């Protein structure tokens, strides 16, 4: 999982300027400072840039399109109160220093300094996520849509808190025994684990990212697999079955969206 620093001054100024512009001095109140009042397309651009076009949760490639969604680390749900906010603050100083409850800020009768920012529109509270459609025709399987408003630690603001086993399993480093906190993201689906397993196997070879990304047809898929993956040729082996399932061009194109894991496994597990 990627870590983001949330230190883009242009993004911080963007939301500060918006909030200051919504203060009504005669009425001593803010008007229209909700998520639907600000142009969020700017957030999408800021987030994609700082995330290198990678989904905050599953690490697949994402682009500046409607398939990319803006995820609130602390959800906008009605039941979020200061007690719930504190749960997130306990995991992240970035949140503790920059976020305040939306309604507390909105209802203040004096103009507020920023930070902290109201959590619905705080740049520090927003990351870019895929829409959870791992394969084009299927339902929303993971990430933002899978999580909904469930509590999940702010992993993207907690460096090295998430790691992966060589079989592709994702786990929360600080709580290896009890992994319930990662479950809402649904990132240990067999399909995602298998994708990461293949990248682990490629990471052990000398293949380059360019060689993998340049594959254009099923003949080349078979060639690059035969050249680089030292797998028991029996189709009954676990790896053999996994690899076989990615030999079609459409599944291969799904696989390569997760190229983040080539470098991950080369850096971490070999
Ligand atoms: Zn994702």
pLDDT tens per residue, the chain (270 residues)? 999 999 999 999 999 999 999 999 999 999 999 999 999 999 999 999 999 999 999 999 999 998 899 999 999 998 999 999 999 999 999 999 999 999 999 999 999 999 999 999 999 999 999 999 887 666 778 999 899 999 999 999 999 999 999 999 999 998 776 788 999 999 999 999 999 999 999 999 999 999 999 999 999 999 999 999 987 666 678 999 999 999 999 999 999 999 999 999 999 965
Q: What is the distance in A from the centroid of ligand 1 to the CA of 143?
A: 5
Helix 190-203 × helix 249-256 angle, to 10°: 80
Q: What is the distance in A from the centroid of ligand 1 to the CA of 64?
A: 14
Tell me the pTM. 0.94
Q: What is the distance in A from the centroid of ligand 1 to the CA of 227?
A: 30
Q: Give yes or no for a contact between 123 and 15, defined as CB atoms under 8 angstroms apart.
A: yes
Distance, in Å, from the CA atom of 6 to the CA atom of 156, rounded to the nearest integer, reads 10
Q: Which residues surround the ion ligand 1 when the cut-off is CB under 5 Å?
A: 55, 57-58, 130, 143
- So what's the pLDDT on residue 233? 65
Q: What is the distance in A from the centroid of ligand 1 to the CA of 55?
A: 5
Q: What is the distance in A from the centroid of ligand 1 to the CA of 67?
A: 10
Place of tokens 């050249």: 227
Q: What is the distance in A from the centroid of ligand 1 to the CA of 196?
A: 13
The Cα-based distances of 259 to 37, 63, 89, 210, 266 in angstroms read: 36, 14, 32, 10, 12
CB-count exposure of residue 92 (10 Å: 0-12, 13-18, 19+): buried
- So what's the pLDDT on residue 84? 96
Q: What is the distance in A from the centroid of ligand 1 to the CA of 157?
A: 16
Q: What is the distance in A from the centroid of ligand 1 to the CA of 187?
A: 8
H or E stretch covering 255 = helix 249-256
Q: What is the distance in A from the centroid of ligand 1 to the CA of 20?
A: 33
Q: What is the distance in A from the centroid of ligand 1 to the CA of 26?
A: 45
Q: What is the distance in A from the centroid of ligand 1 to the CA of 146?
A: 10
Q: What is the distance in A from the centroid of ligand 1 to the CA of 11?
A: 22
The Cα-based distances of 168 to 80, 112, 240, 242, 264 in angstroms read: 33, 46, 15, 12, 11
Q: What is the distance in A from the centroid of ligand 1 to the CA of 32?
A: 31
Buried b (16+ CB within 10 A) or exposed e, 144-170: bbbbeeeebbbbbbbeebbebeeebeb
Q: What is the distance in A from the centroid of ligand 1 to the CA of 264?
A: 16
Q: What is the distance in A from the centroid of ligand 1 to the CA of 44?
A: 15
Beta-carbon contacts of residue 75 (< 8 Å; ≥ 6 apart)? 148, 149
Q: What is the distance in A from the centroid of ligand 1 to the CA of 168?
A: 15
Q: Give yes or no for a contact between 239 and 246, defined as CB atoms under 8 angstroms apart.
A: no
């Amino acid at each position: 999982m990627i870590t983001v620093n949330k230190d883009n001054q242009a993004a911080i100024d963007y939301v500060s300027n918006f909030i200051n512009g919504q203060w009504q001095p005669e009425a001593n109140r803010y008007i229209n400072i909700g998520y639907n009042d600000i142009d969020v397309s700017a957030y999408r651009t800021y987030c994609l840039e700082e995330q290198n076009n990678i989904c905050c949760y599953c690490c697949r490639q994402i682009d500046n399109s409607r398939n990319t969604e803006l995820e609130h680390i602390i959800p906008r749900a009605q039941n979020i109160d200061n007690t719930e906010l504190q749960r997130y603050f306990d995991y992240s100083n970035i949140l503790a220093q920059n976020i305040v409850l939306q309604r507390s800020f909105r209802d203040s009768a004096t103009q507020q300094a920023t930070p902290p920012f109201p959590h619905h529109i705080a740049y520090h509270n927003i990351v870019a996520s895929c829409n959870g459609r791992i394969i084009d025709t299927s339902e929303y399987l993971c990430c933002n849509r899978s999580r909904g408003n469930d509590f999940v630690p702010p992993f993207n603001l907690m460096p090295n808190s998430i790691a992966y086993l060589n079989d592709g399993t994702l786990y929360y480093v600080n709580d290896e025994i009890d992994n319930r906190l990662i479950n809402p993201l649904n990132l240990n689906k067999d399909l995602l684990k298998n994708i990461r397993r293949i990248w682990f196997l490629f990471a052990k070879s000398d293949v380059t990212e360019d060689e993998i990304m340049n594959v254009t047809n099923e003949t080349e898929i078979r060639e690059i697999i035969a050249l680089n993956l030292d797998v028991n040729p029996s189709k009954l082996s676990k790896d053999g079955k996994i690899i076989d399932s990615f030999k079609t061009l459409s599944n291969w194109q799904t696989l390569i969206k997760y190229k983040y894991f080539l470098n991950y496994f080369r850096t971490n597990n070999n």
